[in-house]
Each structure stands twice: as structure tokens, then as C-alpha cells.
Amino acid sequence: MERIIQQTDFDALSCKLAAISVGYLPSSSLQRLPVDLTRKYVQWHRDYLLSLKKFSRRAFGKVDKAIRLSFPVMNYGTYLRTIGIDTAILDFLNANEQVQVVNMGCGSDLRMLPLLQMFPHLTYVDIDYNDSVQLKNKILRENENLRSTLELSGEDATELPVLIDHKRYKLIACDLNDITETTRLLDTCTNRDVPTVIISECLLCYMHETESQSLISTVMTKYTHGLWISYDPIGGSQPNDRFGTIMQSNLKESRNLEMPTLMIYNSKEKYASRWSIAPNVIVNDMWEVYNTQVPEYERLRLRSLQFLDELEELKVMQTHYILMKAQW
């Protein structure tokens, strides 16, 4: 099951690269990127894909094919997912002088690159399964552009579970279902008194209820002041809503993959209840994000990129994905 879940990272990578290739991302205004970082954002992702080919032709072929087959409705979804999380991170970073970010289940995500460039006092920790971070470590060290951006050496300087141990960036191998090991590693590489952003992007949906709730409670109580940003699908709570059951059936049939809590936390309210110990919890579905957080000029830009005739399909999909922000 671990390997099957890891394969979903290549889905996320292909979606991100497809959105970049058409021009949905980067969104300079909402991601607040200066001109030079906007160009670098595109190049970093292209470099990552090219280096992936060197280490796994199979993964590269899958990602490359998915990029070419991506539909506008999928590009919109990736855009909303990306800018929703990035905006929440940026708001917190701008409100706190010193911040540490912990990206749990980081996969191939590269948002640490622009953030570390934009915020000199930021430290960033990527955590994921061993195989996922081993591949990411190889790619980051092999590509000259990525390596120099993170100020890495070409050779591994550290050993498992810490694959990169830079002053401001760490890449760590850990099964997040193992709460004891997760706690130990966070103790060694983070500071409980520094304002902390926790990212769980399509992570909790693949964990069982007990383990996911234990992770939330343990990590939240570890840091004095923080913001937890979580992005996940929800099954839908209306009697005639079959989105969740169809999604579960398709995942089981096509990949033998399960989302254990998809129908347990099947509404915004139920999902938000997992962070009940936080004094301030805000949860929006991504359709709300599109209609309230994406300005009209940006929506005009999106419409100029591709013709979207599946507006109702977009609405149905995006009302079943949520962005949760819990601050304490």
C-alpha cells in the first residue's frame, strides 16, 4: 500500500507541470513572485522533470503522458490547489518575522525553492516516505540549477533518515504513520517556539482515522504557535451525493487504493472538527476559493489560456476538495 500511495505523487507532479506548461502557474500576483522568480519557477519544474527521466524512465513516461493529456478542468483544479495553499503560507510568513515550514508528505513538491529565496529567515523541512525522498534527493543533487539554488553538494553528505541537512532546508525520510519516529525527527530538526506552518496536501486522506488524528494532535501540541494548512478531497454529505462512493470505487478498481476517511469526514464541518483544539479554524471548498479569493482580472487570465466548457463539472469537483486552515 505504501508504494501505491507514493505513486500518487507522480499524479500531482504531472498536474503541476501541465498547469505550468499551459500558463496557469505560476500566478505571479497571487503567489507574489517577483519577475526573476517567476521565470525560475518554470525552469525549476522543467529541470526536475528532465532529471526524473535519468533516474526513472517509467515515472518520467507516466508524467510526460499525463501532461499531454491534461484537460482544462484539471488545470483549474491544480491552479486552485496551488494558489490556495501558497496564499495561506504567504499570509503567515508576512505576519511573522521568523517561520519554519514542515511539509508532511512532500513528494516532488518544489514550493520550498521560491519561498526560501523570498524569505531569508525561513527554514523548511520536507518529510515523506523513504523511497519518495530518496528520489527527490537524487534529483535535487543531480541537477545543477536545483543544486545551486539550495546550495547543496553533488554527493550525499548525510545518511538516513536525514538526506539533506542544510541550515535552512532539510529532507527527511519518515513514515508519518509512525508517530513516535515522526515526533523524534521533528524534535531534532525544528524548534517548538518558532512559529510553524504545517502542510498536509493530500496526505491525511490516505491515512487511517486513528493514525491521522494522532498525527494532528501530536504535531499541534508540539509547537507554541502555528498554522496547519490541509488540502484533501471530501466524500460529500448530501443524500444524493455519490462523488465519494464513485471516487472510492474508481480508486479501488484502478489502483487498489483506498481513502479510509473520505466518507467519515465527508463535509467541511466534519473535516474541520479534526482540529477542534485549535482556537481558529477556517475551511473552504475550492469552488468557494475560486469565487471569493481569485480576483476577476485573474479569472480573465485563466479564461484566456484554454476554453473551459465544463463549468458545472468544475463546480462539482471543486466543491469536493477543501482547504482547511487551523491557527493556534
Q: b/e string for 38-71 if b means 16 or more Cβ within 10 A? A: eebbbebbebbbebbeeeeeebbebbeebbeebe
Domain hosting residue 76, numbered range: 2-327
Per-residue pLDDT reduced to its tens digit, 94-135: 999 999 999 999 999 999 999 999 999 999 999 999 999 999
The total domain count for the chain is 1
Looking at residue 106, what is its pLDDT?
98
Peptide bond into 26 cis (omega under 30): yes
Looking at residue 157, what is its pLDDT?
62
Q: Residue 199: which CATH number? A: 3.40.50.150
The C-alpha atoms of residue 111 and residue 25 are separated, in whole angstroms, by: 12
Q: What is the DSSP string of 128-163?
A: E-HHHHHHHHHHHHHSHHHHHHTT--SS--S-TTEE
Q: Give the per-residue SS3 of 212-229.
A: HHHHHHHHHHHCCCEEEE
Looking at residue 270, what is its pLDDT?
98
- Given pLDDT bands bounded at 50, 70 and 90, which one contains residue 310? confident
Number of neighbours of residue 312 by Cβ within 10 angstroms: 8
Residue listed under C-alpha cell 545518511? 159
Looking at residue 1, what is its pLDDT?
72
Per-residue pLDDT reduced to its tens digit, 253-267: 999 999 999 999 999
Q: Report the chain's mean pLDDT, rounded to a whole number.
A: 96
Backbone phi and psi for residue 46, each to the nearest 5 degrees, phi listed first: -65, -40
313: cell is: 463539472
Contacts of 30 (CB under 8 A, 6+ apart): 83, 86, 87, 294, 298
Instruction: Tell me the Cα Rg of the chain.
Output: 19
- Bridge partner list, 103: 126, 199
The C-alpha atoms of residue 118 and residue 97 are separated, in whole angstroms, by: 13
Distances (CA, A) of 48 to 11, 147, 164, 242, 244: 15, 11, 17, 37, 33
Q: Is the pLDDT of residue 159 over 90?
A: no
Question: Which spans in the chain are helix H?
Answer: 2-22, 35-55, 57-68, 72-95, 112-118, 130-142, 144-149, 179-189, 209-222, 243-255, 268-272, 286-293, 296-305, 311-318
- Given pLDDT bands bounded at 50, 70 and 90, which one contains residue 160? confident
Supply the DSSP symbol for 17. H
